[in-house]
Structure 1
């Protein structure tokens, strides 16, 4: 299993490296296709190896998994983190759009300040909802 994790890490790092290389050198055409082909073939090879490694385990490992199955606290923490994190990302996207539009509207007409603050506040409410959901998940 450690081999699969190391291979996945190498694949991700190579993808990032190739992306940086392509951005800096502005490659086009056949070279980009070659890099993408190598990357896609490496990805599918890794997925096949991971599937074989995970599905060909012994039954002794399955007994350990069943013994540890009732512990679901990790999933609660993961759900709370996802609710907060994705809510914050959504808020950032929404405030970026409404905030810049609000600044433009206020620069043209100062009387629109109250209305634009309401829209930006509604966009910030997304993060509050994500935080409330994560508190509810952790409170169970």
Structure 2
């Protein structure tokens, strides 16, 4: 079973607990939820720091010379993967803002002049291209990892 699918019940229980907490204690629920969010964020940053500083794993029964030959720069692959994730996330967020603004402007312009539909969709498509550029950069970075 995929480990991400196993976390769905945990998220559902956490969301239900947050809603019940917000209904029961309206004034202090925000402070409690923020404290929980900060604790989870600190844990995630600690996990990230330990993953980036950890050395490569060595299988049991491998000769030390072969293990030493397999060791490259520790953490370089992980850093490339994190950089790929940042490239995709940043370009997707940028594309979302661009499509939001250009899409609303295109709809407003098409409501006045319906014949500019083609030109308006080209502008929206160019805004969506930002996300594709980030995806291409991520593929290049993953190939280097």
Give the TM-score of the pair, scaled to structure 1: 0.53
Tell me what 1:87 maps to: 91
Tell me what 1:105 maps to: 109
Tell me what 2:19 maps to: 20
How many Å separate the matches in 2 of 1:100 and 1:47? Answer: 35
Contact 1:88/1:126 (CA < 8 Å) preserved in 2? yes
RMSD: 3.9
Contact 1:83/1:133 (CA < 8 Å) preserved in 2? yes
Tell me what 1:38 maps to: 32
How many Å separate the matches in 1 of 2:99 and 2:39? Answer: 41
Say if 1:45 and 1:111 are closer, same or farther in 2 by CA, change over 3 A.
Answer: closer
Query: Structure 1 residue 75: deviation in Å?
Result: 2.4
Per-residue deviation, residues 65-111 of structure 1 (Å, max 9, x unmatched):
45666242122223223322442343234223322331332132024
Per-residue deviation, residues 34-61 of structure 1 (Å, max 9, x unmatched):
222333455667789x6xxx7xxxxxxx
Helix, strand or coil at the partner of 2:74: coil
Runs of 4+ in 1 over 4 A off after TM superposition: 40-48, 66-69
Say if 1:72 and 1:111 are closer, same or farther in 2 by CA, change over 3 A.
Answer: same
Contact 1:106/1:113 (CA < 8 Å) preserved in 2? yes
How many Å separate the matches in 1 of 2:80 and 2:88? Answer: 12
How many Å separate the matches in 2 of 1:114 and 1:43? Answer: 45
Query: Structure 1 residue 112: deviation in Å?
Result: 2.6
Contact 1:18/1:35 (CA < 8 Å) preserved in 2? no
| Structure 1: tracts of 5 or more residues without a match | 1-9, 55-63
Give the TM-score of the pair, scaled to structure 2: 0.52
